[in-house]
Structure 1
Amino acid sequence: MKARCFSFAMCGLVAAFVACGDGDGGGSGGGGGSGASGSTGSLPTSATTSATSATTGSGSASATTSATSATTGTGSASATTGSGSTSATTGTGSEPEGGPLIDDMEDDDNAIADEGGRVGYWYVFHDETEGGQQVPAAGEPFTMTHLDPSRGQSTIAACSQGSGFEDWGAGVGVDLNSLSGEKTAYDASGYTGIKFWAKVGPTSATAAKVMISDQSTAPEGGVCTTGCNDNWAKSLSLAEGWKELTVPFADLAQGGWGDPAATDAIDASKIYSIQFQFNTVPEFDLCIDDITFY
C-alpha cells in the first residue's frame, strides 16, 4: 500500500483551504506527492479534498454516512450517454483492456497505477456549502470501496457520496503527475482520450460531467489568472448499472465562465487532473472503476 504524508497546495497567497478562481462550476484537485488538496472554480468558496489510504485532506466538512457498496450491471447491449460522441457499453465488466492503465483500484490504496511515469492520488472536492456532506469526508482518508457484488473481476472502485452542496457542487478526482508535493503537467498527447466504468446509486442524480484540466485551465499552468478551473468537460448520463464510457479529448469543451484557454481544444500534452463532478443536485452516489487512456 503506497501511503504517503498529506501535503497542502497554495493558490497565490491563499492556502488550499481557500478557492482559486471564480465561475460556476468545477473543482481542481491541487496538491501532490501524497494526496491532493482542492482548489475551486467558483466564487470565494473553497473545495476540500481527502486522499486515500493513510493520507488526509484539508477542509472541515463532515459526513455522517459511510461509503456504500456498488451493484453490477447486466447484459451486454450498447448504449449512448451524455452528448456528442461519447459512447458507453453496459454489463458486468472485466479487467481493463487495451489502453494504458491509469488506475484499476485493485491495490486498495490512494495512488494511481505506477505506469507511464504517472504519479497521482485520489481525492474528493466540494464547494463547502454549510451543512453539505460528502463521503469520504475532508480531513479523513479517501478509502476505496470494496464492491459487493463485484463487477466481474473487479472488486474495488473509487466511490463518493454526498448531498447538500448548493454553490457549484462536488466530485471526485485524481492528479496525474504530483510527485513530492508538486503538481505538474503530464503528457498524454499520445492518446485519443480516456475510458472508465461508472455507476450511480439508486437515489443518486444521474447527470454528471468528466473534466480534465490542462495548462490553460489549471492554476499551476501559469496561463489563467482570475478565472482558473474552467476545465475541459463533457456531460455524462449515468445509471445504476455499470457503464463503460469512452470520452475522446476532442469532445471536451470549456464551460465558458472562466478565462478562455490559449488553445481551441485541450492541450493533451500538458494535462493535470481528471475529475468527475455533480453540479447542485440533491444527492449523488458515484463509483468509478478501471480508468485508462486509449
Structure 2
Amino acid sequence: MKNRIFLHGLNLVLCGLAIAAFAACGDDGNEGSGGAGGGTASGATTGTGDATSASSGTTDPTTTTSSTSASTTSATTGTGGGPQSLEMIDDMEDNDNAINAAGGRVGYWYTFNDETEGATQQPPPDPEGTGETPFTMTELAPARGQSTYAARSWGSGFTTWGAGFGFDLNSPEGAKAAYDASAYTGITLWAKGTTSATVMISDPGTDPEGGVCTDECDKWQKSLALTEEWQQFTIPFADLKQGGWGTPAGTTAIDASKLYSIQFQVGTDPEFDVYIDDLAFYN
C-alpha cells in the first residue's frame, strides 16, 4: 500500500512536469474500471477456466422435458466477469460422491429417472440407498483448466418426464433437513451437454419435507441452454420460478433460508449426456 501511494504521488508529480512542458497529461485514475467486470444476472460464458463468469437457465426434475412456463437463457460467448465471492459446494476434485463437508452441508450425489422400461441411465439410481452403486465422478479428458473431474450423467430412452441427478444439502445419517443459504445471492456452475437441462432447487413449499407438496412438488427452476462447449451459468435465487405444473409453493419466491436439494434434470430427448462442475453459492 505504501508503495502504491508513493507511485501514485510520483505520477502526479510527473503529470505536473508534463503539464508545464506539454500542457496536457493524464493520471492513473482508472483503477477498478477495466478488467473482466462484474457478473450479470443472465447470459452464459463459454471457456475452460474455473468458476468466475456469468449466466442463467431453467426446468424442473419432476416435470415434463419442456416446461413452457420456465424461461430458457441462450448462451453468449465472451470474457465477462462473474461472482466476486464463492462458497464452493463441490468442485468434484476429490472424486467421491459427497459434496464438500463445509458450512454445515452434508450431502451425496445421486441419480433419478421416470423408470421408463428399457431406458438406461449412468450412473444408475440407488433408490433404496444401499450404497452398492454410489455416484461416481467422471475424469475430464482434456481437463477444463485446473479441473480434472466433473459430475456427469448420461443415458437414453426416457419417455415420461426424463432423468436427472443432484444432491441434498443437509442430509446427515440419511435424514433430509433444511440448509440456510440466505447469506448468498444464488448459485454458479460450469456445465456442458448434448441437450438442455434444468437446475431445480427445493424449499419448504416445493419439497415433501416441507409439508406443502407430496407427489407434485414443482421445484424452483431455471433452464440451462447447454452446448458441447463448457459454459458458466450464474443463477440468482430471484430468477428461479416454479414450472407451473404442480402444487403451488404458496410464495412468489424461493425461501433461501431453508433449501433442501439442488438437482439437474433433462427431458425426454432420445439421448442425453450432461456434465456439471465447480458448483458454488455466490455473492
TM-score (norm 1): 0.68
Amino acid at match of 1:191: Y
Q: Distance in 2 between matches of 1:100 and 1:221?
A: 25
Q: How much has 1:248 moved relative to structure 2?
A: 0.7
The structure with more radius of gyration:
2
Q: Distance in 1 between matches of 2:102 and 2:44?
A: 25
Q: Distance in 2 between matches of 1:280 and 1:94?
A: 30
Amino acid at match of 1:290: D
The CA deviation string for residues 213-238 of structure 1, in whole angstroms up to 9 with x for no partner, is 111110011122452x2100111101
* Aligned equivalent of 1:121: 108
Q: Distance in 2 between matches of 1:292 and 1:138?
A: 24
Q: How much has 1:95 moved relative to structure 2?
A: 6.2
Q: Distance in 2 between matches of 1:95 and 1:234?
A: 19
- SS of residue in 1 equivalent to 2:187: strand
Amino acid at match of 2:182: S
In the alignment, structure 1 residue 88 sits paired with structure 2 residue 76: no
* Aligned equivalent of 1:111: 98
Q: How much has 1:85 moved relative to structure 2?
A: 4.5
**Which one of the candidate residues 233, 252, 255 is aligned to 1:245?**
233
Q: How much has 1:171 moved relative to structure 2?
A: 1.1
The CA deviation string for residues 257-292 of structure 1, in whole angstroms up to 9 with x for no partner, is 111112111111111111111111111100000000
Q: Distance in 2 between matches of 1:271 and 1:95?
A: 22
Q: Distance in 1 between matches of 2:170 and 2:123?
A: 22
Q: Distance in 2 between matches of 1:110 and 1:225?
A: 27
**Which one of the candidate residues 247, 265, 282 is aligned to 1:277?**
265
Amino acid at match of 1:292: A
In the alignment, structure 1 residue 182 sits paired with structure 2 residue 175: yes
**Which one of the candidate residues 258, 263, 273 is aligned to 2:251?**
263
Assess if the C-alpha contact under 8 Å between 1:232 and 1:255 holds in 2. yes
Which ranges of 4 or more aligned residues in structure 1 deviate by more than 4 Å? none
Amino acid at match of 1:213: S
Q: How much has 1:138 moved relative to structure 2?
A: 2.6
Q: Distance in 1 between matches of 2:191 and 2:222?
A: 14
Q: Distance in 1 between matches of 2:139 and 2:51?
A: 15
Distance 1:226-1:114 versus aligned 2 partners, 3 A rule:
closer
* Aligned equivalent of 1:193: 186
* Aligned equivalent of 1:152: 145
- SS of residue in 1 equivalent to 2:49: coil
Q: Distance in 1 between matches of 2:50 and 2:207?
A: 33
User: Larger deviation: 191-200 or 134-143?
Assistant: 134-143
The CA deviation string for residues 182-221 of structure 1, in whole angstroms up to 9 with x for no partner, is 0011011111100000011xxx22x221110111110011
- SS of residue in 2 equivalent to 1:250: helix
Assess if the C-alpha contact under 8 Å between 1:234 and 1:253 holds in 2. yes
Q: Distance in 1 between matches of 2:89 and 2:183?
A: 14
**Equivalent residues, number:** 209
* More helix by percentage: 2
Assess if the C-alpha contact under 8 Å between 2:180 and 2:258 holds in 1. yes
- SS of residue in 2 equivalent to 1:210: strand
Assess if the C-alpha contact under 8 Å between 1:95 and 1:153 holds in 2. no
* Aligned equivalent of 2:121: 134
Q: Distance in 2 between matches of 1:226 and 1:242?
A: 34
Distance 1:106-1:95 versus aligned 2 partners, 3 A rule:
farther
For CA contacts below 8 A with separation 6 or more, give which structure has more relative contact order: 2
* Aligned equivalent of 1:211: 200
Assess if the C-alpha contact under 8 Å between 2:110 and 2:125 holds in 1. no
Assess if the C-alpha contact under 8 Å between 1:87 and 1:247 holds in 2. no
The CA deviation string for residues 148-187 of structure 1, in whole angstroms up to 9 with x for no partner, is 1100000010001011000000011111000011001101
* Aligned equivalent of 1:34: none
Q: Distance in 2 between matches of 1:220 and 1:166?
A: 27
